[in-house]
Amino acid sequence: MSRETQHDVRRPGSGPSGGRLVEGAFAACLGLALLAMPALLLWILSPHPDSGAQGALRVAAGLWLLAHGADLVRPDTLHGGAAPLGVTPMLLTALPVFLLYRVVRLSGAADRRSVVLVAAGYLAVGTAAAWFTLDGPLPVEPLSAALYLPVLTFGTLTFAGWAVRGRPALRLPSRLGGERPGGPTSAVPGAAVRTAAVGTAVLCGGGAVLAAAALLARGGAAQDAFPRLASSWSGEIAVLLLCVALAPNVAVWGAAYGLGPGFSLGAGSVVGPVLTTPHPALPSLPLLAAVPGEGPGGPLAWTVAGAVPLAAGWAAGWCTGRAGVPVPGTRHGAATGPGTAATAALGALGCGLAVAVLAAFSGGPLGTGALAAVGPVWWWAGGAALGWTALASVPTALLVRWWRLRDPHPLVAAGLVWRRFTAWCATLRPAPEEPAGAWHETGSRHSRWAALKEVSGGLMPDFDPVWRSGPAAGEPAEPPVSEPPRAKVSLRPAPGPGRHRRP
């Protein structure tokens, strides 16, 4: 008998529709809960809360939408009108991005249908959160929420699906990458993506260092800003948490400052290493104490600011050169010179695009009029990042490639030179004289043989050298030992009973 067994063969991520909707909605609710918990804690610790727990939850929902890029509205201002609040805390943005990525990674929802279902569940909760904030102290602007919330959701889910599928990458034409001895390969955009990531990370890290140094130099002003914004210690904790959430924004602003274009603080002002123009009055935020004073920058500011993009370009070029020559000292699997230069140029382009996106996301309006646009200008920051990175990374990548292609490798060559030098020095010293070999003398051999014979109890014969050609004097010659005659072996078969021997 045969038994048939049916197996449910499904593609990865092709689960039921309801499950995908629930996964998206759960990710949104989890992000809202992670922001609502500190909001409720600060409301409990506040000595004089302005509203109840519902107001704290509405503020948390507004911050969650602000993390997606949507603008909030301050209805009560000094001039009596409403003012937008559109500077997105980029550290809060990392929360929904991480949650959406984990949904796709854990469930395997990498196909288009699953991405749409997860996004539908997520956006359903987002729509409810936007409606919930309309009666709160910081309502969301509906148009901005309808624009930026789907963009961030679908963008993150698409990137996560690409990563889950193994990050498939296109290849450049063979005339740019060249034929490698290991196989017909070319400069892979994956190396350019890594180069762009390294350059962007070094740029933002350098901007964070510049901002931290300026903040430490004006630490007194930053410390005095806390009591001006809050009258209780719970309020100061809230201001501190806000500064921590805005720390990545400050790093991007510092990177724009190091690149040269700088950033704006409203009313067409510019804060850069070359010149800082007058700007309107700003809120007493501790992070804004790092803004330099008005006037031209000195040589120290130029040198420190210029070191940031140069370091980013050198790091990107070093990464490209190492990726182009995976095995030092050999051309096996190595990219050609044009392929390495093309990879470095693509990395510079990716770095420029990444900086432009970060600059656009790190700024926004803080009010109306003079404060309608605060932060770096994204096209200036992206163009400067592209130029600086290409200028420094392409020559660095070619230099690293040439250095790693030297045959043999420089470290191996140095070791060979040192080995030859030590061998030559050893030939200059006189060779030591060897002592006489008394061990091999005839008398020593006879003594050792006699001692062995005495210890063996007579089992060993007298010492009789095998090389003696004849008998000693006075001894009879021994007769030669004759060998016994060998029987002839016949290869013919013996005659059987039915066979007769031929005569």
**Residue 414 in domain:** no
**Predicted local confidence at residue 5, as pLDDT:** 41
Q: Kindly report the pTM of this predicted structure.
A: 0.74
Helix (H/G/I), strand (E/B), else coil: 181: coil
Q: Identify the CA nearest to 442 among candidates 463, 428, 423, 458.
A: 463
Q: What are the residues whose beta carbons fall under 8 Å from the beta carbon of 235, sequence distance 6 or more?
A: 46, 229
**Structure confidence at residue 503 as a pLDDT band (50, 70, 90):** very low
Sign of the alpha-carbon dihedral angle for 117, 120, 126, 129: negative
Q: Which residue has the higher pLDDT, 311 or 472?
A: 311
pLDDT of residue 144 exceeding 50, the answer is yes
- Please indicate, yes or no, whether residues 158 and 194 belong to a single structural domain of this protein: no
**Predicted local confidence at residue 152, as pLDDT:** 95
- Please indicate, yes or no, whether residues 257 and 383 belong to a single structural domain of this protein: yes
State the chain's mean pLDDT as an integer. 81
CB-based contact 85:366 (threshold 8 Å) = yes
Q: Which residue has the higher pLDDT, 328 or 65?
A: 65
| Cβ neighbours, 10 Å, residue 481 | 5
**Residue 477 in domain:** no
**Predicted local confidence at residue 124, as pLDDT:** 96
Structure-token match 């933002």, residue found:
204
Residue type, 414: A
Question: Taking residues 333-351, what's their average pLDDT?
Answer: 91
Question: Taking residues 169-180, what's their average pLDDT?
Answer: 49
Helix (H/G/I), strand (E/B), else coil: 85: strand
Question: Which range is least confidently modeled, 29-38, 87-96, 322-331?
Answer: 322-331
| Cβ neighbours, 10 Å, residue 251 | 23
Report d(CA 378, CA 502) in Å as an integer: 116
Question: Taking residues 333-352, what's their average pLDDT?
Answer: 91
Q: Is 46 left (phi over 0), alpha (psi -120 to 50) or beta?
A: beta
Which residue, of 400, 415, 450, is where some domain finishes? Answer: 400
Helix (H/G/I), strand (E/B), else coil: 369: helix
Report d(CA 78, CA 98) in Å as an integer: 38
**Structure confidence at residue 184 as a pLDDT band (50, 70, 90):** very low
Residue type, 324: G
With a pLDDT cut of 70, the percent of the chain lying above it is 78
**Residue 108 in domain:** yes
The DSSP secondary-structure symbol of 133 reads G
Question: Taking residues 466-480, what's their average pLDDT?
Answer: 51
**Residue 247 in domain:** yes
- Please indicate, yes or no, whether residues 252 and 372 belong to a single structural domain of this protein: yes
Which residue, of 167, 201, 223, is where some domain finishes? Answer: 167
Residue type, 437: G
Report d(CA 43, CA 70) in Å as an integer: 24
pLDDT of residue 445 exceeding 70, the answer is yes
**Predicted local confidence at residue 376, as pLDDT:** 94
- Please indicate, yes or no, whether residues 259 and 217 belong to a single structural domain of this protein: yes
pLDDT of residue 105 exceeding 70, the answer is yes
Which residue, of 133, 167, 201, is where some domain finishes? Answer: 167
**Predicted local confidence at residue 442, as pLDDT:** 74
Q: Which residue has the higher pLDDT, 3 or 339?
A: 339
**Predicted local confidence at residue 499, as pLDDT:** 47
Question: Which range is least confidently modeled, 10-14, 92-96, 438-442, 493-497?
Answer: 10-14
Residue 30 φ then ψ, to 5°: -65, -40
**Residue 86 in domain:** yes
**Predicted local confidence at residue 29, as pLDDT:** 96
Structure-token match 């050169």, residue found:
321
Q: What is the pLDDT of residues 283-311, one digit of tens each?
A: 788 998 888 888 888 888 889 889 999 99
Q: Identify the CA nearest to 87 among candidates 73, 65, 71.
A: 71
**What share of residues in the chain are helix, strand, coil (percent, to 5)?**
60, 5, 35
- Please indicate, yes or no, whether residues 279 and 373 belong to a single structural domain of this protein: yes
Question: Which range is least confidently modeled, 43-47, 48-52, 232-236, 344-348?
Answer: 48-52
Question: Taking residues 49-53, what's their average pLDDT?
Answer: 75
Indicate the helix (H) or strand (E) that contains 73. Answer: strand 72-74
- Please indicate, yes or no, whether residues 150 and 203 belong to a single structural domain of this protein: no
- Please indicate, yes or no, whether residues 250 and 384 belong to a single structural domain of this protein: yes
Q: Is 256 left (phi over 0), alpha (psi -120 to 50) or beta?
A: alpha
Question: Taking residues 112-131, what's their average pLDDT?
Answer: 94
- Please indicate, yes or no, whether residues 272 and 342 belong to a single structural domain of this protein: yes
- Please indicate, yes or no, whether residues 124 and 65 belong to a single structural domain of this protein: yes
pLDDT of residue 244 exceeding 90, the answer is yes
Q: Is 159 left (phi over 0), alpha (psi -120 to 50) or beta?
A: alpha
**Residue 323 in domain:** yes
Structural domain count, the chain: 2
Look up residue 46 and give its two tokens: 């506040």
**Predicted local confidence at residue 437, as pLDDT:** 57
Residue 246 φ then ψ, to 5°: -95, 5
Report d(CA 360, CA 195) in Å as an integer: 21
- Please indicate, yes or no, whether residues 152 and 205 belong to a single structural domain of this protein: no
- Please indicate, yes or no, whether residues 157 and 258 belong to a single structural domain of this protein: no
Domain that includes residue 25, residue range: 12-167
**Residue 106 in domain:** yes
- Please indicate, yes or no, whether residues 147 and 272 belong to a single structural domain of this protein: no
Q: What is the pLDDT of residues 194-204, one digit of tens each?
A: 999 999 999 99
**Residue 453 in domain:** no
Q: Which residue has the higher pLDDT, 472 or 333?
A: 333
